[in-house]
Amino acid sequence: MKKILGPILVIVGLLVVAALVLIPSYNKFVTLEENINESYAQVENQLQRRLDLIPNLVETVKGFASHEKEVISDISNARAKLAGAQGPDEQSAANGELESALGRLLVVVENYPDLKANENFIQLMDSLEGTENRIGVARQDYNTEVGKYNKQVKRFPGKLTASIFGFEEKEYFQADAAASDAPKVDFGNDKD
C-alpha cells in the first residue's frame, strides 16, 4: 500500500502545481479577451455614431449641392457597406472606403461657401469631427488590448495555457490600404 501511496501523492502534487499555474493564466486570458471585446464594442459604437450622423450631413449637402449626386451616392454606398461589415477586417476596409468618400465630400463643400456657413452643416461637421476623433481613440484602445492579449498568447506559460484552452491570436484593427490615398475629385471641368 505504501508503494502505491507515494506515486499517487506525487501525481496529486503535480496536478495541484499544474492547477496553480494554469488557473491564474486561464483567468488572465479570459480577462484580456473580455477587454478586447469591450474595446471592440466601443469601436463599433463610434462607427455607429458616425453612421447615424451621415444621413443628416448628406441631406444638408443635398440642399446646397443637388448636382453632386455621385459623391452623395458614394457616401451612401460606403455607409451601407460599413453598416453590414462584420469583424475588424471587413470594418477596416469599409471604414477606409467611407473615409475616402467623406474626404471627397469635404472637397465638394469647399466649392459651396453658403453651405460652409450654414449653421446645421457646421454643427454636423463638428459632430462628425468629434466622432472621427473618438473612432481613432477607440481603435487605438482596441489595438492596445489586442497587443496585451497577443503577448500573453506568445509568452510562457501563457503559450501553454493558450494551446491547452484554444486561445488564439486576435487581429488588430488596421487602416485600409486605400485610406492613405488622397481623395480624387473630378468636377468634369476638363479644358482640353
Instruction: Tell me the domains of the chain and their CATH numbers.
Output: 16-168 (1.20.1440.20)
Helix axes 69-84, 87-110, angle to 10 degrees: 160
C-alpha cell at 93: 476596409
Nearest by Cα to 70 from 113, 112, 108, 122: 108
Instruction: Please give the Cα distance from 159 to 163 (Å, whole number).
Output: 6
Higher model confidence: residue 147 or residue 174? 147
Nearest by Cα to 132 from 103, 112, 163, 169: 103
Indicate if the pLDDT at residue 178 is higher than 60. Answer: no
Whole-model pTM: value is 0.69
Give the range among 54-58, 80-84, 146-150, 184-188 with minimum mean pLDDT.
184-188
Indicate if the pLDDT at residue 150 is higher than 90. Answer: yes
Higher model confidence: residue 188 or residue 18? 18
Whole-number pLDDT of residue 99: 86
Whole-number pLDDT of residue 187: 41
Half-sphere exposure of 40 (CA within 13 A, CB side): 18
Nearest by Cα to 43 from 132, 162, 165, 148: 132
Whole-number pLDDT of residue 182: 46
Mean pLDDT of 37-53: 90
Whole-number pLDDT of residue 139: 92
